[in-house]
Chain A
Amino acid sequence: QAVTVEVLDHLERLALVDFRDSEGVERLQKAIQFADQLHEVNTDGIEPMDSVLEDRCLYLRGDDVTEGNCTKELMKNAREKVEEYFVAPPGIVLLIKI
């Protein structure tokens, strides 16, 4: 099944990664073809598996503050900042006009 232009636009919007060249589209088509092999398997009545540790309870920490106060450390790696704010470009101009 071919990937439609609508789907491509939608994917680009969701992923915020473009692949407007034909190579990218072909790559996606091949990936879908590869994944289609899954449909050879009979999975009637099989529960989807989220995690191999599904029989155990996840560990939850107590709701206590044990570390923090590392704003300066964390801000170091950001390129655009003002005081303790990360700076994003303004505007709500969408990437792709539908």
Chain B
Amino acid sequence: AVKRTLCFQVSAALREGQITPTELCQRCLSLIKSTKFLNAYITVTEETALKQAEESEERLRRGQPLGVLDGIPVAVKDNFNTAGIETTCASNMLRGYISPYNATVVQKLLDQGAVLVGKTNLDEFAMGSGSTDGVFGPVRNPWSYSRQYKEKSAPKSHPEDKESKWVITGGSSGGSAAAVSSFTCFAALGSDTGGSTRNPAAHCGVVGLKPTYGLISRHGLIPLVNSMDVPGILTRCVDDAAVVLGLLAGHDPKDSTTIQDEFKPFELPNLPDVSKLSIGIPKEYHAPGLSSEILALWSKAADLFKKAGAKVIEVSLPHTRYSIVCYHVLCTAEVASNMARFDGLEYGHRSDTDKSTESMYAATRREGFNAVVRGRILSGNYFLLKQNYERYFVKAQQVRRLIAHDFSKVFGSGVDVLLTPTTLTDAAPYTEFIKEDNRTRSAQGDILTQAANMAGLPAINVPAALSERGLPVGLQFIGPSFQEKQLLTVAKWFEKQVEFPRIQLEEVKRHDHGVLQHQKSASFS
């Protein structure tokens, strides 16, 4: 039976010689050029990508592919170290910083023969939920330029209005989500600390997987919150996410927070069956600000599961609304610690001030960090002051346990998977989004995704439908720790039910002859 994974299908096309890795790479590179206005990429690694593609071609010629990913273009968020390639975290602090090593997950992708086409844009140091606060400018959601969105916009709008109507990708892994969504790569790495992979996945209509904390190595991922960060996987379908997960998961001696249990890569069933499962609907996720559209979609999804024979029950996670507050304290505290390494001495930006060590450090950090980063460092230091430590930091750690306990209680009572919305609304226009500050927007953007990070649980966004405005809306599944196979099986079942529409982008049409979107014919309906 032919598996319908995009990676697998393109992989088969490569193996059968329908297209060569070099041609595929060139298509993606030229599509990146013509979608430059999306600002999804900070660095496009054209030379190295073509070289990798050539090497892949050589292996395929000899009939010795390294694996499913051999010759497949991928992109990596610019907070992962990539040897010999600039890694900026979208910050002036790391402009010009050339990584001396590959992050473990990057190395694993390269060892499989994947072709790295570039480093993607993000909020500075992954702090944000819009991908609007990086020094290289905001990322534009490809759906802003889709036929689906344009058809729903006011027909009489002027060109200038159209220009200002572009919507955000969400964040902080917005560049990766946009890259996958616009077909410039087949899979991308993001990171997820409060929802930074799932949020942009929802807004860009792609699959965004946050694995269980401890499953995938963080070695080489520039840390934000050591106790919550995970590498995230962005793909166009659930099967692809399972493939990439299989290649990345597993113990890494270089990351002592990866569990030592052996990880067995899995294939998802062709015809997933959810009739024996219990799906929990946490009532607290009906949060203030949830759009009526998404509420209706959530309800419709629950009905789908009911009709398929699954047991669908309402559950309670009473501490949900404190998750974002808890995150605010713990995140800023860990950030205060993690950002201390940026002092200008060993790497990164260094101020010209030479009066004293401390004044050089201070000037470097003032010049290198944007206001969001500086704000979080200061808040974090405040919560860690001796007089505040118990009241804020320890208190937050206690609340964290309560949040984690909420989940384990529900999963322990027989619920297999939770179904929730991923975001409160569809993607906002950029001009609207920037009216509020980063902290406010982050609190809104992360509110439904953050708790999974608090508890370290695996969670996935699956694109569900288009909103009234013609923009993607996703739903989220959350599972028990290390139960990715069950989680992805449910996600795949749901994906098959909803048949989320393909984005109709002019630029993609021009560059594709069926392979990028993997259609047999080149015609589009």
Contacts and interface: CB of A to CB of B under 8 A. Distances in A.
**B is a partner of A:** yes
Interface residues of A, number: 56
A88 B383 CA distance: 30
Contacts of A38: 322, 325-326, 329, 392, 395-396, 399
Interface in A1-49: 3, 7, 10-12, 14-19, 23-24, 27-28, 30-32, 34-35, 37-41, 43, 46-49
A82 interface: no
B98 A52 contact: no
A3 B256 CA distance: 39
A53 B356 contact: no
B381 interface: yes
A28 B381 CA distance: 11
Interface residues of B, number: 69
A35 B376 CA distance: 13
Interface string B368-406: 010100110111011101000001101111111110100
A77 interface: yes
A91 interface: yes
A30 B481 CA distance: 34
Given A16-B358, A52-B404, A41 B213 contact: no
A30 B354 CA distance: 34
A50 B226 CA distance: 10
Interface string B392-435: 10111111111010000000000000000000000000000000
Contact of B347 (A39, A46, A77, A95): A77
A67 B283 CA distance: 51
Interface in A47-68: 47-53, 56, 58-61
Interface string A65-98: 0000010011011111000001011111111000
Interface stretch (B28-36, B201-209, B257-265): B257-265
B402 A43 contact: yes
B487 interface: no
Contacts, number: 181
Nearest to B330: A49
B378 A94 contact: no
B325 A43 contact: no
Contacts of A91: 355-357
A92 B227 contact: no
A78 B392 CA distance: 37
B65 interface: no
A3 B381 CA distance: 13
B484 to A, nearest CB: 15
A31 B328 contact: yes
Nearest to A77: B347
Contact of B358 (A46, A49, A60, A94): A94
A79 B96 CA distance: 11
B263 to A, nearest CB: 14
9 contacts: A31-B382, A34-B439, A34-B443, A41-B322, A50-B397, A53-B257, A56-B259, A89-B360, A91-B356
